[in-house]
């Protein structure tokens, strides 16, 4: 499968689960995307600043159109946030390994949200550079 419709510098991303802890994947995914010039908004309920970017406490705080929501959280949190994703009209969701669930899959299918599960957005982005 080609992920070209999910991975592009022309899209705007929101990453749920960004962390200030450099050992956590929420930090790694955001850092990778920022360094590779993706238009990306970090989200964590604690707020803060990472790599000179404001960390938003929820997707409700972002007034730009989000093309792809990237989940780097537990399946329970990802599923809970999907309601906001639906409300904001976001039609693409990327569930980093460990954030996916059957419930999230059903919610996406029911609401016509294209999704990727069990794949890493950083790895797929690197493959597309080749």
Identify the CATH number of the domain in which residue 75 sits.
3.40.50.720
Total domain count, the chain? 1
pLDDT (tens digit, 9 = 90+) per residue, 99-112? Answer: 999 999 999 999 99
Say if residues 20 and 45 touch (Cβ distance below 8 Å): no
Q: How many CA atoms lie within 13 A of 115 on its CB side?
A: 28
pLDDT (tens digit, 9 = 90+) per residue, 16-25? Answer: 999 999 999 9
DSSP 66: P
Q: Residue 2: is its pLDDT beyond 90?
A: no
pLDDT (tens digit, 9 = 90+) per residue, 55-98? Answer: 999 999 999 999 999 999 999 999 999 999 999 999 999 999 99
Say if residues 44 and 70 touch (Cβ distance below 8 Å): no
- Nearest residue to 69 via CA among 97, 47, 89, 46: 89
Nearest-angstrom CA–CA distance, 45 and 33 = 20
Say if residues 25 and 78 touch (Cβ distance below 8 Å): no
The pLDDT > 70 percentage for the chain reads: 98
For the chain, the average pLDDT equals 95
The answer to whether position 125 is within a domain reads: yes
Nearest-angstrom CA–CA distance, 60 and 111 = 19
User: Where in the sequence is the domain holding 116, given as residue range(s)?
Assistant: 12-129
The answer to whether position 26 is within a domain reads: yes
Nearest-angstrom CA–CA distance, 7 and 123 = 11
The answer to whether position 6 is within a domain reads: no
Nearest-angstrom CA–CA distance, 30 and 7 = 14
The answer to whether position 5 is within a domain reads: no
pLDDT in the model for residue 3: 87
pLDDT in the model for residue 100: 97
The answer to whether position 1 is within a domain reads: no
Q: Residue 130: is its pLDDT beyond 80?
A: no
The answer to whether position 46 is within a domain reads: yes
Q: Residue 1: is its pLDDT beyond 70?
A: no
Pairing of strands 92-95, 39-43: unpaired
Say if residues 69 and 116 touch (Cβ distance below 8 Å): no
Q: How far apart are the first and last CA of the chain?
A: 16
The answer to pTM > 0.85 is yes
The answer to whether position 60 is within a domain reads: yes
The answer to whether position 99 is within a domain reads: yes
């Amino acid at each position: 499968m080609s992920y070209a419709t999910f991975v592009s510098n022309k899209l705007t991303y929101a990453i749920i689960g960004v962390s200030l802890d450099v050992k956590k994947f929420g930090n790694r995914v955001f850092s990778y995307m920022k360094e590779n010039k993706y238009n990306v908004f970090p989200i964590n309920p604690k707020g803060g600043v990472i790599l000179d970017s404001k960390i938003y406490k929820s997707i409700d705080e972002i007034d730009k159109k989000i093309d792809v929501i990237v989940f780097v959280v537990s399946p329970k949190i990802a599923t809970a946030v999907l309601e906001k994703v639906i409300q904001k009209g976001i039609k693409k969701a990327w569930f980093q390994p460990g954030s996916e669930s059957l419930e999230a899959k059903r919610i996406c299918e029911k609401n016509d949200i294209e999704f990727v599960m069990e794949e890493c957005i950083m790895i797929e982005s690197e493959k597309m550079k080749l």
